[in-house]
Amino acid sequence: MLTPDVRYCRLNDLEDGDGSGYKNGVRENMSANPIRVVLLGYAGVQTLDLAGPLDAFASANSARAGAYLTLTTSLNGVPFASESGLRIAPDAALQDAGPIDTLIVPGGAALRTPSVYEEIAEAVMRCSAGCRRSVSV
Cα-Cα-Cα-Cα dihedral of 28, 33, 34, 35, to 10°? Answer: -80
Residue pLDDT, tens place only, 25-74: 555 555 679 999 999 999 999 999 999 999 999 999 999 999 999 999 99
Cα separation, 85 vs 73, whole angstroms: 17
Residue pLDDT, tens place only, 84-98: 999 999 999 999 999
Of 3-12, 85-94, 127-136, which range is least confident?
3-12
CATH topology of domain 32-136: Rossmann fold (3.40.50)
The answer on pLDDT for 9 being more than 50 is no
Q: In 3-state terms, what secondary structure has residue 111?
A: helix
- Report whether 38 contacts 68 (CB < 8 A): no
- Report whether 136 contacts 107 (CB < 8 A): yes
pTM of the shown model: 0.77
- Report whether 88 contacts 72 (CB < 8 A): yes
